[in-house]
Amino acid sequence: MASRIAIVRGVPDTFCDALSMVHPLVPVDLEVARLQHETYVEVLAGLVKEVIRLPADNKYPDCPFIEDTAVVIGNRALITHPGATSRQGEEVVIREALTQLGLDISEVECPGTIDGGDVLYASGMLFVGKSRRTNAAGIEFLQKAFPDVKVHIIRVLDGLHLKSVISEIAPQTLAVEDSVAAAAMFDEIQEQTNGHFKIVKTDGAGAANTVLVGDTVICSATLGLPADLEAHFKQHAKHVIPVNISEFHKVDGGLTCLSLLIER
């Protein structure tokens, strides 16, 4: 079995000021967010060899969304330059942590920007969303960092990131939000890979963002459409664990955003 490490970052006191495309109708509850984060970390701890917890930094309200700060494949890590100016700088402690783990590090430099939420590595293939956060210059750094894999560029037609609406739930199988934009993005993936993937359409905004660890899928317990998301995914994945991250959804966060997974 592959040995995995997960890195997570705590929820700062300023989390209620995290960025969101639409101001949440019900404000973020900091205490609930911290409890939900803890549950998420505990679930991960049951699936990986080690969880490294990095401390929150009140200067960065979005710092729990650690996925956006690095792309790790095998022994290589690309430290990103996040697309939102208020998030630039979050990556500094991540660089230190990944260096300590002995990864081979490279960095996105200005004017390149990438958010890790736009990078999907599935079936040994690398997809990057060109989005409001990830630009062409950033994508060039991604290709340079991982020269052995072709980077497939997918235009993000709606939502924040590529993985906001598409994620891997089983070998050759992608969960795809049941929306016109996500369907077009999936079609683009299929076109570029000669129809490599099976689609599992998933109803509800954010419900298609899942974390796959080995043969276990962590899915959102908040967005239960169709009525039982867990049952929906169980038809395709071996094990499914629902986790409630309602407070993170309020600021456009999903399950993948809350960790960096390193396979070694």
Of 161, 219, 232, 249, the catalytic one is 161
Return the number of the residue (160 or 189) whose C-beta is nearest ligand CIR.
160
Return the number of the residue (34 or 161) whose C-beta is nearest ligand CIR.
161
From the CB of 169, what's the least distance to ligand CIR, in Å? 17
Catalytic residue status for 161? yes
Binders of ligand CIR among residues 1 to 40 (CB under 6 A) are 18-20
Catalytic residue status for 196? no
Torsion region of 258: left, alpha or beta (phi above 0 gives left; psi -120 to 50 gives alpha): alpha
CA distance 227 to 221: 11
Tokens 């499914």, located at residue? 240
Give residue number: closest CB to ligand CIR.
Answer: 117
From the CB of 19, what's the least distance to ligand CIR, in Å? 4
Question: DSSP code of 150?
Answer: P
117 binds ligand CIR (CB under 6 A): yes
Return the number of the residue (79 or 234) whose C-beta is nearest ligand CIR.
79
Return the number of the residue (173 or 256) whose C-beta is nearest ligand CIR.
256
Cα dihedral 194, 199, 201, 206 sign? negative
Cα dihedral 12, 250, 85, 98 sign? positive
Return the number of the residue (20 or 190) whose C-beta is nearest ligand CIR.
20
251 binds ligand CIR (CB under 6 A): yes
CA distance 58 to 88: 14
CA distance 144 to 169: 27
220 binds ligand CIR (CB under 6 A): no
Neighbours of 190 (CB within 10 A): 14
**Residue 211: exposed, middle, or buried by beta-carbon count in 10 A (0-12, 13-18, 19+)?**
buried
Structure tokens at 13: 């006191």
Binders of ligand CIR among residues 68 to 87 (CB under 6 A) are 68, 84, 87
164 binds ligand CIR (CB under 6 A): yes
Question: DSSP code of 65?
Answer: -
Which chain residues interact with ligand CIR by CB under 6 A?
18-20, 62, 65, 67-68, 84, 87, 115-117, 160-161, 164, 251-254, 256-257
Q: Which residues are catalytic?
A: 161, 257
